[in-house]
Structure 1
Amino acid sequence: MNYTPPQLRTVNVIRYVTPLREGGSLPAIAEADDEFLYVLKFRGAGQGVKALIAELIGGEIARLLGFKVPELVFANLDVAFGRSEADEEIQDLLKFSVGLNLALHYLSGAITFDPAVTVVDARLASQIVWLDCLLTNVDRTARNTNMLMWHKELWLIDHGAALYFHHSWNNWQEQAVRPFAQVKEHVLLPRATRLDEVDAEFKAILTPDKIRAIVGLIPDEWITPDNFEETPDEVRKVYSEFLIARIAASEIFVTAAKQALYAGI
């Protein structure tokens, strides 16, 4: 049976509330025309649409695997939106981000996950480590956990640094079967003692049809000659085939993660 992922809603940004300057790409809290607040990720920031693509794919794969992830929406930014912004840096960011961006539902009152305060059980830790090895997510370290506690539950955020193969993907087939060396820095690795169990479970969920359906959410608008040499269909095929190959060869990154785990004990 083919998998059909939830279709992302599209909202229109109506108010820029405040920048989140702790983020390297200068995301912002913004209000949309549905009266909700969102953490808005801009296509005109640092890594451009590739960070949005990683956020989209990573977030929706995490959701499919059962993790708690804020709702992702496409966020449309009007050409006139930034004209009244006094900060020149933000004004330029808004100008270069006209069109379709990506946003996460703002979890008001959430606090940053602190491993010294909250103990994550071995199963959940193994699940998150496995996900980040699949996505090659370099940004879940003790310095920057990219996890939140909200209503006493753990939420995953910010996958924009994942899938780093796409910044130079001429050898994507080779990169798909590499271990994830940065796993040794993962904040939850010391508790990830059930990786083999999680590997079998998650591989059964992430079928090729489901991967292709999630990758199919990438808008054509993000796949331009400025960002990719290939057509939208060709770009989506590379993302799909990279992930499908990586899932099929998951024992490579699972073995490397276990070696890093036991080397640190």
Structure 2
Amino acid sequence: MKKALDSSPLVPFVVLYARVSTERQAMKDLSIPDQLRRMRDYCERRGYGILTEYVDEGRTATDDNRPAFQQMVRRVLSGEENIHAIVVHSFSRAFRNATDLAVYLRDLTKVGARLVSVTQDVDESPIGRFVTLFYGLVDEMNSAENSKHVKRAREENARRGFHNGSKPPFGYKAVETKTIGHTGYRKVLVEDEAEAAIVREIFNLYEGDERRAPMGMKRIVEYLNTKSLYRGQIWRVQRVQQILSDSVYTGVYEFGARTARTQHKADRGPSEDSHD
């Protein structure tokens, strides 16, 4: 039976932080419930009072742009509640960027707080702080290596004609094959008959024929919105323009190409194996 918490200053109060970056990770031993259970057990053994539990799902730790994380650090760094520590399952749940780790450790120290890992027992001595930063460097290195491996795997997957797990272009759907991949059966793109008919109509309207003049994109949008929706949303000029300019409708499905305008990769979105 857990001891009832009181307001005594002798009780160190903490907040818990849990995070997963992918659905696959959530299905393994780093699931949110598992992290929280281990952290609660850890706090009970040490007599810590838990103020709040913060959770970020589907968020990478390579930067600090995480809603629950930001809400938590604002509360702790305000210094208004005398919070003893942020408790995590492992340091990698909070950071996979050694620079961010060093900055936040410094800021936590200023308000008398700590970052505590239940799986990496590190004290507050100078050597302990060095070890914490060393863990951060290792996590950052592992994250970079994982990212490279994922990139190579996705490129090879695309080279072999398989779909990488993002939302299919309008007019297509992803269908499982009998080929086993790292995360299950690999998928390929095939025509979605209903959507493909709309795509063909868009091209016909835009190009015109001997019976009718070509139609501009604005008029095409007005026409489409009287007949159907774009996957539950209204049609817009940008959507029609994207379809008319996308090489996928000529049989070329690009992966990792860079656009001349933005120099950003023309990725179809992250696969399930995105880095942590």
- Same fold by TM-score greater than 0.5: no
Range into which the TM-score falls when normalised by the shorter chain: under 0.3
TM-score (norm 1): 0.26
Larger relative contact order (Cα-Cα within 8 Å, sequence gap ≥ 6): 1
Larger Rg: 2
